[in-house]
Structure 1
Amino acid sequence: MTFPLITAHTGCMGEPDNSAGSALAGIALGADIVEDDIRVTLDGVPVLFHDEFVSLKDGNRIGISSSTYDELRHLEIIPAHPRNSKTIRLAALDELLAIVRGAGCQVNLDIKVDEAIAPAAAAVRKFGLEERAFLSGCGANRALLAKAEAPWLPRLLNADADLFDALAYSEAVKRTMDAAMAAACFGINIQHRHVQEELLASASDCGLLIYAWTVDDSDQIAALAASGVRSITTRRVDLAMGLKSYVNK
């Protein structure tokens, strides 16, 4: 079996989410792809963060979209999902792309707001990473918008988990494939619990790849790897790399 691509989830290996340290930790272990969340400041700077508001050590909260990058860049920020006592500073997307360009890996830009699409695409072009960057975080409407604003930048459709919870599985798969094809996506980004053979077969018929997230358990990583998904997103890059080494012996 060919082992799937390993995507280092932002906040991998115990590093704070949306930090340079997380990207570097994933790369050091051999991740094929690093993922980060992308928002945009009031003055149009794409930055790495999951939520609209950043929380500070003093208890205050500040909106990213209503603040300039210079107003935010030196603040001590509590990560969106803290796993230790570290604080971070708000990093510009440029910082991540500089790391990726030097490392030779791919980068998954998880777009959190529509307004981040164009600035993120411009940054990718500035760093010459057109062949190594792609977008995720795109539901049906955002995927269509990304197609219109940056048609040259590959994109994954983010499967709607509510759709899979509310509808019969076959119907949810059909609607997901239809939305991906309408937006000319190259694949589907989906919660690992919704990955079944029917989805994989339908995606294959449509020429779409399946990117599964987020799995931190060895047995679940192994099961997904055997299923034929294209990528597995994990915080435990070490576990995934260990399994990959074993499979590739």
Structure 2
Amino acid sequence: MGVIILKKTLITAHAGCMNTPPNSIHSVLEGLKAGADIIEVDIRSTKDGVVILLHDEEVMTPRGMRRVQDLLFEELKHLAKCNEIIRLEEVLPIVKEYHRVINLDVKEDKAIDPMIEIVEKHNMRDYTIITGCDKERAFQLKKRHRPYQVLLNASVRLYETYKGDYESFIKETCQDAIAASCCGININYHLCREELIDYAMFRCLPVLVWTIDDSHAMERFLGMGVHSITSNEVSTLVELRDQQYIS
């Protein structure tokens, strides 16, 4: 008889999963078709306030590197011909059609308010989680947009500050999440240990890890009972998750 897993770990498709271009319609669709529960996209806004899916602060153009925030949307699309520049409005209906959740990984503060407006326009609040937030960004976001689910991004700097004192790192991370009214903790899987998962669980803070593409690491964190695993290899993770889960 196998081990009984009582809680099914959610699977988050990383932007650019399944060997697709990051932050593309193709990436979103492939993640959904592969069985992801959550679709992650990166959020920025252009000079004229258009909310787009883009990870990097700068893009390569024929004139060299240009900051996204200095370009109008149409200008950005024209200059960055090699890249597919997608508006957030284009992907929300797709995720909604599949009845899945979208993870909006915020890359800059100025994108937050227009991003929220678009989510509200599409009635997607209940299908949205927001990541990319240190404790200050999370606090300010929850202050202005209280109904939204926001995850605290665990601080690498805090981890390095405590070095050999993992217990203090755990306690301060959970305290920061609670103080900012976050609904959970989003953490690089290299920094995540079972002690954090257990400590956070008793404070009703689910732990979500990113980004795991190695099958052995997938199995290990599935066994640890994390709330979600972000991966580029969605199909592999779905298969491993379903093997471990007994309904």
- Shorter-chain TM-score bucket reads over 0.9
Q: Distance between the aligned counterparts of 1:111 and 1:237, measured in 2?
A: 22
4+ runs of 1 displaced by more than 4 Å? none
Whether the 8 Å CA contact 2:49–2:114 is kept in 1: the answer is yes
Hey, what does 1:139 align to over in structure 2? 134
After TM superposition, give the deviation of residue 182 of structure 1 in Å.
0.8
Does residue 5 (structure 1) correspond to residue 24 (structure 2)? The answer is no
Hey, what does 2:74 align to over in structure 1? 70
AA of the residue aligned to 1:30: G
Whether the 8 Å CA contact 1:34–1:106 is kept in 2: the answer is yes
Seq. identity, %: 37
Hey, what does 2:109 align to over in structure 1? 114
Does residue 225 (structure 1) correspond to residue 222 (structure 2)? The answer is yes
Does residue 105 (structure 1) correspond to residue 109 (structure 2)? The answer is no
SS at match of 2:209: strand
After TM superposition, give the deviation of residue 247 of structure 1 in Å.
2.2
Whether the 8 Å CA contact 2:59–2:80 is kept in 1: the answer is no
Hey, what does 1:236 align to over in structure 2? 233
Structure 1, unpaired ranges of 5+: 78-86
In structure 2, the CA distance between the partners of 1:12 and 1:161, relative to structure 1 (3 Å rule), is same
Hey, what does 2:172 align to over in structure 1? 175
In structure 2, the CA distance between the partners of 1:170 and 1:96, relative to structure 1 (3 Å rule), is same
After TM superposition, give the deviation of residue 146 of structure 1 in Å.
0.7
Give CA-to-partner distance per residue, 1:194-235, whole Å, 9 cap, x none. Answer: 221221121112111100000001110111011010000000
Hey, what does 1:80 align to over in structure 2? none
Hey, what does 1:163 align to over in structure 2? 158
After TM superposition, give the deviation of residue 9 of structure 1 in Å.
0.2
Q: Distance between the aligned counterparts of 1:14 and 1:194, measured in 2?
A: 25
Q: Distance between the aligned counterparts of 1:97 and 1:41, measured in 2?
A: 18
Does residue 46 (structure 1) correspond to residue 43 (structure 2)? The answer is no
Does residue 212 (structure 1) correspond to residue 216 (structure 2)? The answer is no
Hey, what does 2:20 align to over in structure 1? 15
CA RMSD of aligned residues (A): 1.4
AA of the residue aligned to 2:11: I
AA of the residue aligned to 2:55: H
After TM superposition, give the deviation of residue 88 of structure 1 in Å.
2.6
Which range moves more in the overlay, 147-156 or 229-238?
A: 147-156
Which range moves more in the overlay, 232-241 or 46-55?
A: 46-55
After TM superposition, give the deviation of residue 59 of structure 1 in Å.
6.4
- After TM superposition, the structure 1 = structure 2 runs for residues 19-34 of structure 1, keeping only pairs within 5 Å, are 19-34=24-39
Q: Distance between the aligned counterparts of 2:176 and 2:167, measured in 1?
A: 14
Q: Distance between the aligned counterparts of 2:204 and 2:90, measured in 1?
A: 33
Hey, what does 1:91 align to over in structure 2? 86
Q: Distance between the aligned counterparts of 2:43 and 2:221, measured in 1?
A: 27
After TM superposition, give the deviation of residue 116 of structure 1 in Å.
1.2
In structure 2, the CA distance between the partners of 1:27 and 1:139, relative to structure 1 (3 Å rule), is same
Q: Distance between the aligned counterparts of 2:200 and 2:161, measured in 1?
A: 20
Hey, what does 1:83 align to over in structure 2? none
Whether the 8 Å CA contact 1:75–1:90 is kept in 2: the answer is no
Q: Distance between the aligned counterparts of 1:248 and 1:173, measured in 2?
A: 28
Hey, what does 1:150 align to over in structure 2? 145
Total equivalences in the alignment: 239
